[in-house]
């Protein structure tokens, strides 16, 4: 099996059967949307159909307008079509995090070069939603309540183990998020010993929302961190 085959199989088997806190809904695009499985298969076969060893990058959990629509972390339908060259049928989605990540990918040398060396997923591979104060559905993170974190803890551990087994480089794992996400992964890694080193980078959404004027500096920071592991 190629790296692509392993990821495709992994995504298709994702299924959370535990009990969630009241008001929280699991979001599993691989079970809810037939097009997602077609898109993610095309994507991984295009960029990952080999046996290269890659560094793992872990985000928080899928969002509604990125992986929730395409099945590919930090890839909204705009970037899927315009940069990855994979056709998307339906309402076009725009996710600021995806904009930043693909600016980083461009600076690294493009999608082919980047995905040859890095594999992106999330600490919790399925997403969550809740109903906001305005009555509309909003993204919810696995760490937004202690009850949810406890409910999905074993699910998180099991699925990080499965992804490590794809053949990722366990010397360094990158984490998107220097706050709660990075803290959780470091503590988990201390307990489970998945990786020798965790490198946390500011989350793309945080950069786009609060630090957009310094975006180029953050792109440089990302590239420097990624090049360090590549130069070893």
Q: CA-CA distance, 73 to 60, in Å (whole number)?
A: 10
- Which residues make Cβ contacts (< 8 Å) with residue 169, sequence separation at least 6? 53, 54, 55, 56, 229
CB contact at 8 A, 17 and 154: no
CATH number at residue 225: 3.40.470.10
Q: CA-CA distance, 142 to 138, in Å (whole number)?
A: 13
Radius of gyration over every alpha carbon of the chain, rounded to an integer in angstroms: 17
CB contact at 8 A, 64 and 128: no
Could you report how far apart the first and last alpha carbons of the chain are, in Å? 27
- Domain membership of residue 206 as a residue range: 3-230
Q: What is the pLDDT of residues 138-186, one digit of tens each?
A: 889 999 999 999 999 999 999 999 999 999 999 999 999 999 999 999 9
Q: In 3D, which of 160, 148, 162, 215 has the Cα closest to residue 188?
A: 160
Side-chain-facing half-sphere of 201: CA atoms under 13 Å: 25
pTM: 0.94
Q: What is the pLDDT of residues 64-110, one digit of tens each?
A: 777 788 999 999 999 999 999 999 887 788 899 999 999 999 999 99
* Domain count across the chain: 1
CB 126: neighbour CB atoms within 10 A? 24
């Amino acid at each position: 099996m190629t790296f692509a085959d392993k990821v495709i199989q992994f995504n298709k088997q994702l299924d959370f059967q535990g009990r969630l806190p009241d008001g929280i809904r699991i979001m599993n695009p691989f079970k809810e949307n037939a097009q997602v499985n077609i898109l993610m298969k095309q994507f991984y076969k295009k960029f990952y159909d080999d046996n290269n060893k890659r560094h793992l990058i872990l985000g928080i959990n899928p969002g509604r307008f990125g992986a929730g629509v395409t099945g590919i972390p930090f890839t909204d339908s705009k970037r899927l079509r315009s940069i990855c060259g994979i056709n998307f049928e339906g309402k076009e989605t725009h996710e600021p995090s995806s904009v930043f990540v693909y600016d980083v990918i461009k600076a690294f040398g493009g999608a082919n070069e980047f995905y040859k060396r890095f594999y992106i997923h999330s600490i919790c591979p399925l997403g969550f939603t809740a109903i906001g104060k305005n009555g509309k559905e909003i993204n919810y993170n696995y760490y937004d309540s202690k009850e949810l974190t406890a409910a999905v803890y074993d699910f998180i551990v099991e699925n990080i183990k499965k992804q490590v087994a794809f053949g990722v480089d366990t010397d360094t794992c990158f984490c998107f998020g220097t706050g709660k996400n990075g803290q959780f992964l470091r503590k988990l890694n201390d307990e489970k010993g998945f990786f020798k080193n965790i490198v946390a980078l500011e989350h793309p959404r945080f950069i786009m929302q609060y630090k957009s004027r310094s975006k180029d500096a953050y792109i440089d920071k990302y590239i420097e961190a990624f090049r360090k592991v590549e130069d070893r």
